[in-house]
Structure 1
Amino acid sequence: MPELAHTIQLLCNTLACLEHSPGGRSAAPYARLTYVTNHILEHVLPQPQSSKGERMSKTMHAVQNKPHSFKKILRMDTQVQDLLKKAYFAFNSRDIATALSTFHPDVQWPKAFEGGYVSGHDAIRSYWTRQWSEINPIVEPTGFKERPDGTIEVTIHQLVKDLQDAPLFDGIVKHVYTVQDNLLRRMDIELE
């Protein structure tokens, strides 16, 4: 199934590009996406046999017959990814105002550099300003995944250097987000 997951991710990325293309949306890409999605649901995914599986099969049938619902789900995922990408780009650019515009007013943010959490925009601004006066972190998202509990897992390549450009950390971590009101409400960090 990894090939299927990769195919679906490519389709989602294609849709995201089409959504934001200068020429705007047209019906043809959506028709193609619907066709490929239906083909995957009918011919690629295994058909479950249990009573639980029968419910899943009915769900798949409903998605097949309501491609607009499927497109809405893909757009919702794209919106969350776009929000996260905007936040990471702003963080790496040291654009605090833009990064904070992606956060819920009552956001809870981990103080990875110091330990514990801060809450709210002012506390995050203060924490980041202090952090950037001592280290230079760069965080690049390499993957996005929705977890069963509804949180969003972002795989991150994190490079942290001191102010003399010597590396302190270069590795993979996971950032786990709770989204509320289309804004980032909480972030937790998990080490690989």
Structure 2
Amino acid sequence: MENLKTFFQELYYNFNTRKIDLVIARMTDDVKWANGMEGGYVFRHKGVKEYWTRQFTMIRSNVTPLEIEQEKDLVKIKVHQVVHDLNETLLSDEIVYHYFRMRGDRIAGFDIGKAP
């Protein structure tokens, strides 16, 4: 796998600039992705794309990675997450953790956790 820091910096850049097909291309076909808006999970490339397409019609988010740690196939990323509604009203500005389960050089799973 390419440099871990570069991989995830590019991933977050592509998410923040809404190049979602580039982000989805980094996932396994059977990815399990946390639905941060409604709870539960979405599955496979189609589920992630539909979820993000719907999400982007309701909010504008920006997520910046601050710290990246890896232990075997689990990558934990401390992120600064800022979310506005479409009228630019701030909805949240917080530190959260993103957990990526890797399979080789692809993302097989994603979860979200609050800062301890």
TM above 0.5: yes
Aligned with residue 146 of structure 1, among 70, 79, 88: 70
Contact 1:83 1:102 in 2 (8 A): no
1:86 is displaced (CA, Å) by 1.8
Answering whether residue 20 of structure 2 is matched by residue 104 of structure 1, we say no
Answering whether residue 86 of structure 2 is matched by residue 163 of structure 1, we say yes
Query: 1:190 is matched with which residue?
Result: 113
Task: Indicate the SS of the match to 1:112.
Answer: coil
Contact 1:80 1:182 in 2 (8 A): no
Task: Indicate the SS of the match to 1:124.
Answer: helix
Gaps of 5+ in 2: none
Contact 1:109 1:118 in 2 (8 A): yes
1:81 is displaced (CA, Å) by 2.4
Query: 2:9 is matched with which residue?
Result: 85
Determine what percentage of the aligned residue pairs are the same residue.
30
> Distance in 1 between the 2:101 and 2:5 partners?
13
Query: 1:26 is matched with which residue?
Result: none
> Distance in 2 between the 1:107 and 1:126 partners?
14
Structure with the bigger RCO (C-alpha within 8 Å, sep 6+) is 2
Give aligned pairs, total: 115
Runs of 4+ deviating beyond 6 Å: none
Gaps of 5+ in 1: 1-75
1:137 is displaced (CA, Å) by 1.1
Aligned with residue 118 of structure 1, among 17, 42, 47: 42
As a proportion of its length, which structure holds more strand? 2
Report the RMSD for the aligned CA atoms in angstroms. 1.3
As a proportion of its length, which structure holds more helix? 1
TM-score norm. by structure 2 comes to 0.93
> Distance in 2 between the 1:105 and 1:86 partners?
20
Contact 2:32 2:44 in 1 (8 A): yes
Matches within 5 A, 1:67-78: none
Aligned with residue 135 of structure 1, among 59, 65, 86: 59
Contact 1:107 1:186 in 2 (8 A): yes
> Distance in 2 between the 1:105 and 1:144 partners?
24
Aligned with residue 103 of structure 2, among 180, 185, 191: 180
